[in-house]
Chain A
Amino acid sequence: MSLSAIIMGIAGVIILFGGAIYGLSKMSKENPIDSENETD
């Protein structure tokens, strides 16, 4: 495999999975919905 292909593969994984993990980390800080569920 060429170096450019390897770089794009790694970059894609880091950015896309990183994006999802970033979102999840924002969710775990505060989770108002689950607590709201009780009273809604």
Chain B
Amino acid sequence: MARERWDKRMAFIMAAVGSAIGLGNIWRFPYMAYSNGGGAFLIPYLIALVTTGVPLVALEYYLGVRYQKGPTEAYGYIRKKSKYIGWFSLGIAAMITFYYTVVMAWSWNFLFHSIKVSWKEIGASNFFYNNLLGLSDGISNLGGIQWPVLLGNLLTWIAIFFIVFKGVKVVGKVVKWTVGLPWLLLILIIIRGLTLDGALQGLEFYLKPNFEILKNPSVWLAAYGQIFFSLSLGFGVMIAYASYLPKKSDINTNAWVVSFANCSTSFFAGFAVFSVLGYLAQATGQPIDKVVGGGVGLAFVTFPTAIAQMPGGIILQAIFGIAFFFTLLTLGIDSAFSLVEAIVTGLKDSFNVKREKATFWVCLVGFIIGLIYCSKAGLYYLDVVDHWMNWGLVIVGFLEAVLIGWFYNTNKVSKDIDSTSEIKFGKIWVFSIKYLTPIILGAVIITSIYKEFSNPYGGYPQWALMSCGWILLISILYFAIYMQDRNNIKNISFTNSVGRATGWLLIFTGLLTSFVLFYQSTTLLGAITLIGSTLIGIFIITLFMELNNKKNSY
């Protein structure tokens, strides 16, 4: 059967831009720039964009365009034993989608409550944490379901299902709105923001350059990290979307346009965020560094607080609130359905299942797993899982650069990419994929490991960090290796299958035992069990895989 195609090249560009532009452009980049030298951050940011961002996007497009398959199969063409990278990236994409839709659910709720600016009397913080989330006293206390959040989550999944199940032609039509509208709304928010008192002081904090800080390597790592997370890399989304382009498509120019469009949106969003923060600081008589922040707090506490303080009465406040939360929704929804599209494409290509069926099951499973994030402890779980999934993305980026850079003919790929592209990258691409990207992402991984052990994340109990963090991440890796292994089970002998099953059983038992040990706070023993059972299990599985390969090659 002929592969589906985008209607037009622009539909693909818009979909890829929509996927890359998400909530992070509003709540991550401006804060990151502010904390890392203000306007001076633009220098490492632009260098990171050109030296690793665009080349990595081009690499993912290359895999999709040339092999005409989603991530699970495309990696297999580079090296048969690398399919696990594709499965790993899809596992990470799935875990992220399951909580990303819940953030959309909060936005639906805030959009609805913007009509009356419901948080005006009780305060945005109180409204968000107590009324909407009903936040429990800790991660151990699930406390039941928060129905408005559940309803919002259901709405998001239904929207995703209807966008994805018909294929990329429908996606191409939807993204015209989900990319165009937030841009228009951002312009409106900026115009309104700039007319508020204190807006210019806010922008001063955002843009005033501190060039001294550029001597600090951590600023450069932050810039490279920001570029990596911002461009939807490592999820397999870019591979999946590109696989619906014709085989001779222009790769570099598409990568260039999508990357620059994404980064200009981030920079632009900073104007909206900091003009409003400047106003809030002045209205509340606080210094700006007391109101500035990023993440969930910025979108669902700081911004609503500013909205409730704005001049012009409740109608203007309501209009601003609706504009802001509708921007969040439109920014987020195309990132969410791009993740689902990547998973659906992966399943479709690997198992030959129908798109409708794959979409239905992904949405249903996503909704069910998302129930935990709709509980009263949902925010805690979301926070911990999000922290570790970011790790997973960096690992995928590192693996894909090493795979192409060191286990494949990079020069050949570079020439191939340039041959169909208007913009040529030449040797810069080879240098980036072979040396720069693995070194930078390797450094990000090492510094993160160091931070993780020197200062456990967010003050959560050890068992929560271990089970929602390490164990979840390692489980996704096992799942990925298993999915690769199951492709090699043709002509397998009984002894061989028993051997492999023993390996998997060992890994699974180790996982459960270590979970119990972590829960009982015997962390060291838990870690030894986890690492030991993993290594021995993988050794056994690899041994039997090799024996089988040898037997088949005779």
Which residues of A line the B interface, CB within 8 A? 1-2, 4-9, 11-13, 15-17, 19-20, 22-24, 26-27, 29-34, 36-37, 40
Q: Do A12 and B39 touch (CB < 8 A)?
A: yes
Chain A residues positioned under 8 Å from B254 (CB to CB): 27
When A8-B38, A33-B250, A36-B246 are in contact, do A1 and B204 touch as well, CB less than 8 Å?
yes
CA gap between A34 and B11 in the complex, in Å? 10
Q: Do A27 and B42 touch (CB < 8 A)?
A: no
When A5-B207, A36-B248, A37-B5 are in contact, do A27 and B257 touch as well, CB less than 8 Å?
yes
Chain A residues positioned under 8 Å from B267 (CB to CB): 12-13, 16
Q: Find the B residue at minimum CB distance from A33.
A: B9
User: By CB atoms of chain A within 10 A, which of B206, B257, B271, B420 has the most?
Assistant: B257
Chain A residues positioned under 8 Å from B257 (CB to CB): 20, 23-24, 27
Chain A residues positioned under 8 Å from B256 (CB to CB): 19, 22-23, 26
Chain A residues positioned under 8 Å from B282 (CB to CB): none
Query: Does B261 have its Cβ within 8 Å of any Cβ on chain A?
Result: yes
CA gap between A1 and B246 in the complex, in Å? 49
Query: Does B290 have its Cβ within 8 Å of any Cβ on chain A?
Result: no
State how many angstroms separate the Cβ of B247 from the closest Cβ of chain A. 8
CA gap between A35 and B439 in the complex, in Å? 40
Q: Do B264 and A33 touch (CB < 8 A)?
A: no
Chain A residues positioned under 8 Å from B209 (CB to CB): 4-5, 8
Q: Do A27 and B250 touch (CB < 8 A)?
A: yes
Within 8 A of A (CB), among B234-284: 245-250, 253-254, 256-257, 260-261, 263-264, 267-268, 271
Q: Do A5 and B39 touch (CB < 8 A)?
A: yes
Query: Does B471 have its Cβ within 8 Å of any Cβ on chain A?
Result: no
CA gap between A16 and B200 in the complex, in Å? 21
Q: Do B207 and A31 touch (CB < 8 A)?
A: no
Q: Do A5 and B204 touch (CB < 8 A)?
A: yes
Chain A residues positioned under 8 Å from B208 (CB to CB): 2, 4-5, 8
Q: Do A31 and B9 touch (CB < 8 A)?
A: yes
Count of B residues near A, CB < 8 Å? 39
CA gap between A4 and B245 in the complex, in Å? 44
Q: Do A40 and B39 touch (CB < 8 A)?
A: no
CA gap between A31 and B42 in the complex, in Å? 32
Chain B residues positioned under 8 Å from A13 (CB to CB): 264, 267-268
5 CB < 8 A contacts A-B = A5-B209, A13-B267, A15-B42, A16-B46, A33-B250
Chain B residues positioned under 8 Å from A4 (CB to CB): 39, 208-209
Query: Does B40 have its Cβ within 8 Å of any Cβ on chain A?
Result: yes
Chain B residues positioned under 8 Å from A27 (CB to CB): 9, 13, 250, 253-254, 257, 422
Q: Find the B residue at minimum CB distance from A8.
A: B39
Q: Do A33 and B204 touch (CB < 8 A)?
A: no
Chain B residues positioned under 8 Å from A22 (CB to CB): 256, 260
Chain A residues positioned under 8 Å from B40 (CB to CB): 8
| Residue-wise interface mask of B (1-42) relative to A, using a CB-CB cutoff of 8 A (1 in contact, 0 not) | 000011111000100000000000000000000000011101
Chain B residues positioned under 8 Å from A24 (CB to CB): 257
Interchain CB contact (< 8 A) of B264 among A5, A20, A34, A36: A20
Query: Does B347 have its Cβ within 8 Å of any Cβ on chain A?
Result: no
Q: Do A12 and B249 touch (CB < 8 A)?
A: no
Query: Does B299 have its Cβ within 8 Å of any Cβ on chain A?
Result: no
CA gap between A30 and B38 in the complex, in Å? 38
State how many angstroms separate the Cβ of B36 from the closest Cβ of chain A. 13
CA gap between A34 and B209 in the complex, in Å? 43
Query: Does B423 have its Cβ within 8 Å of any Cβ on chain A?
Result: yes
CA gap between A30 and B268 in the complex, in Å? 29
Chain A residues positioned under 8 Å from B247 (CB to CB): 40
CA gap between A37 and B249 in the complex, in Å? 10
Q: Do B203 and A37 touch (CB < 8 A)?
A: no
Chain B residues positioned under 8 Å from A36 (CB to CB): 246, 248-249
Chain A residues positioned under 8 Å from B201 (CB to CB): 1
State how many angstroms separate the Cβ of A2 from the closest Cβ of chain B. 6
CA gap between A31 and B7 in the complex, in Å? 13
State how many angstroms separate the Cβ of B61 from the closest Cβ of chain A. 12
In the complex, the 4 A-B pairs of residues with the closest C-beta atoms, listed nearest first: A8-B39, A23-B257, A19-B260, A16-B264
